Structure 1
Amino acid sequence: MIFKKKNKNIIKVVHYDGLRGFNQDYPCTIEEKDDSFEIKKIKPEMVVTLPKNKIVRIDSLNDNEFMQKYHNTLGTNDKKYYLIITYNSDENAENQIIFWGTSFEAIKFNKLKYKYNGNIGNYTL
């Protein structure tokens, strides 16, 4: 087989912060499975599984918005976009995993954001 069919559930990203064993600015992939996300680092291969039921929210910000919100400074790269996944750890503490990508990935980031932050159903305050 010469051509391999692309998996539409895989997003190529660059790790920014939040995963042990992953260096900052190291390329990796996020694959959406039925009940989890698999985050894979390449060379040496390492897989981190994040169950979907632990996700609190997913956010997508451009560089300027991200730098203002998380670093209280202005961003300098208008072509970089961030994916911020907030989840509950086993100790029930909120943690974040942050990735960045280009404008091509930003479209996929926004799709994830709206998919997981959309309609949440009924609840009581």
Structure 2
Amino acid sequence: MSHNVPKELKYTTDHEWAQLEGDIVTVGITDFAQSSLGDIVFVELPEVGDELSKEDSFGVVESIKSVSDLYSPLAGEVVEINSELVDSPESCNESPYGSWMIKLKVESADEFNSLMTPEAYSEHCESL
């Protein structure tokens, strides 16, 4: 099954996507993740000001099938959350790349390069 994997983003093995602009990383869940989860009915996000380490759980996505933790692709401070997802969690299904979850201010953008390329992420999904 083919999933949308935008070339301008980086990815984690836990199916988060990340986009770097300056020292701000925008994070959301991938098309593969939303498709695997099914209809998303609840999203729990962190507080602005929370400090996250790489791979820290920063929230939860609940679907009709399961509950899944969300993991931070990089270390940083949460500077913004997409509060619209709390009221409209189904946006994650409708537009996984338009429905970002958090924005992180990162100390080192170098870490961003350690995330998976679109090609590597596509191969990862095919192996599941």
TM over 0.5: no
Greater relative CO, 1 or 2 (CA 8 Å, sep 6+): 2
Give TM-score, length-normalised by structure 2: 0.33
Please identify which structure carries the higher strand content: 1
